Amino acid sequence: MAKKIRLGILGGGGDSLIGVLHRVASQINDNYEIVGAVFNPNFEENIAFAEEIDVPTNRIYKDFDTLVEEELKLPKEERIQVCSVLTPNFLHFPMVKKLLENGFHVICEKPMTTTYEEAKILRAAQEKSGTVFALTHTYTGYPMVRQMREMIRAGAIGKVHKVDASYYQGWINSIIHDKAKRSTVWRLDPKKAGISSCIADIGVHAFNMVEYTTGLRIKSILADFNYLYDDNQMDVDGTVLVRMDKHIKGLIRSSQVATGEENGLSIAVYGEKGGLRWEQENPNYLYVLSDTEPLQVYKPGHAYNSKLSLGGTKLPPGHPEGIFDSMANIYLGVARAIRGEVYNDGEFPTMLDGVRGMDFIERTVESHKNGNVWVDLD
Ligand X SMILES: NC(=O)c1ccc[n+]([C@@H]2O[C@H](COP(=O)([O-])OP(=O)(O)OC[C@H]3O[C@@H](n4cnc5c(N)ncnc54)[C@H](O)[C@@H]3O)[C@@H](O)[C@H]2O)c1
350 touches ligand X (CB under 6 A) = no
Site for ligand X in 4-33 (CB under 6 A): 10-13, 15-18
Q: Do 208 and 143 touch, CB atoms closer than 8 A?
A: no
In 10 A of CB 201, how many CB atoms? 24
Site for ligand X in 194-253 (CB under 6 A): 201
Q: Under 8 Å CB-to-CB from 216, ≥6 apart: which residues?
A: 160, 210, 244, 248
User: Residues for the chain: how many in total?
Assistant: 378
- Parallel/antiparallel/unpaired status of strands 264-271 and 160-168: antiparallel
Query: Is the backbone peptide bond immediately before 111 cis, with ω within 30 degrees of 0?
Result: yes
94 touches ligand X (CB under 6 A) = no
Contact with ligand X (CB under 6 A) among 31, 81, 84, 89: 89
Contact with ligand X (CB under 6 A) among 6, 8, 36, 40: 40
170 touches ligand X (CB under 6 A) = no
Q: Give the nearer residue to ligand X in terms of CB position, either 21 or 157.
A: 21
Q: Give the nearer residue to ligand X in terms of CB position, either 16 or 129.
A: 16
87 touches ligand X (CB under 6 A) = yes
Least distance from C-beta 110 to ligand X, angstroms? 6
Q: What angle do CA 242, 308, 247 make, to 5 degrees?
A: 25
Of 36-44, 209-217, 220-228, 297-305: span binding ligand X (CB under 6 A) = 36-44
Q: How far is Cα 99 from Cα 106, in angstroms, rounded to an integer?
A: 7
Q: Look up residue 159 and give its amino acid.
A: K
Contact with ligand X (CB under 6 A) among 32, 61, 64, 324: 64
For residues 141, 146, 147, 148, the Cα torsion angle rounded to the nearest 10 degrees is 120
Q: Give the nearer residue to ligand X in terms of CB position, either 209 or 377.
A: 209
254 touches ligand X (CB under 6 A) = no
DSSP for 11-75? E--TT-SSHHHHHHHHHHTT-EEEEEEE--SSHHHHHHHHHHTT--GGGB-SSHHHHHHHHHHS-
Q: Give the nearer residue to ligand X in terms of CB position, either 197 or 305.
A: 197
Q: Which helix (H) or strand (E) holds 54?
A: none
Site for ligand X in 108-137 (CB under 6 A): 109-110, 136
Contact with ligand X (CB under 6 A) among 55, 67, 91, 157: 91
Of 38-46, 70-78, 211-219, 224-232: span binding ligand X (CB under 6 A) = 38-46
| Binding site residues, ligand X, CB under 6 A | 10-13, 15-18, 38, 40-41, 64, 86-89, 91, 109-110, 136, 138, 186, 201
